[in-house]
Amino acid sequence: KAGVTQTPRYLIKTRGQQVTLSCSPISGHRSVSWYQQTPGQGLQFLFEYFSETQRNKGNFPGRFSGRQFSNSRSEMNVSTLELGDSALYLCASSSYRASSYEQYFGPGTRLTVT
């Protein structure tokens, strides 16, 4: 079974630009969550999508947005990039199977804002 894939793996942008990151979940998983990981703040929840609907949202400004497509693939967008947006962005797909919860993270997209 293919794992969670994220593209691109590395990205360098300048302040003020925007960026779109992509995540393809495990086949059959309908829930996709996004996280930001930085050395200072650790892993922080951005948002979660389930069946194309945003179900949960973390405490991030409106510059961070996302969406999910009918095939469960998800994208997140960051507009007007700031230096502080430099981070590893992780997505995870999850599902409840036979009453047990399974979740898999992708390898992440390393975003550097200069």
Partner 1 sequence: QQQVKQSPQSLIVQKGGISIINCAYENTAFDYFPWYQQFPGKGPALLIAIRPDVSEKKEGRFTISFNKSAKQFSLHIMDSQPGDSATYFCAVKNRDDKIIFGKGTRLHILP
Q: Footprint of partner 1 on this chain (CB under 8 A)?
A: 4, 31, 33, 35, 42-45, 48, 50, 55-56, 58, 90, 92, 94, 101-108
Torsion sign, CA atoms 45, 61, 88, 47: positive
Please report the DSSP string for 56-71 in residue order.
EE-S--TTEEEEE-TT
Cβ closest to partner 1, residue 56 vs residue 77: 56
Minimum separation from the CB atom of position 80 to partner 1 (A)? 26
Residue whose CB is less far from partner 1, 36 or 85:
36
Residue 64, amino acid? F
Smallest separation (angstroms) from partner 1 to the CB of 7: 14
Least separation, in Å, of the C-beta of 9 and partner 1? 10
Residue 25 CA to residue 69 CA, distance in Å, equals 11
Is the Cβ of residue 54 or residue 80 nearer to partner 1 in the bound state?
54
Give the integer Cα–Cα distance in Å for 43 and 112: 17
**Nearer to partner 1 by C-beta: 82 or 102?**
102
Give the chain's length: 114
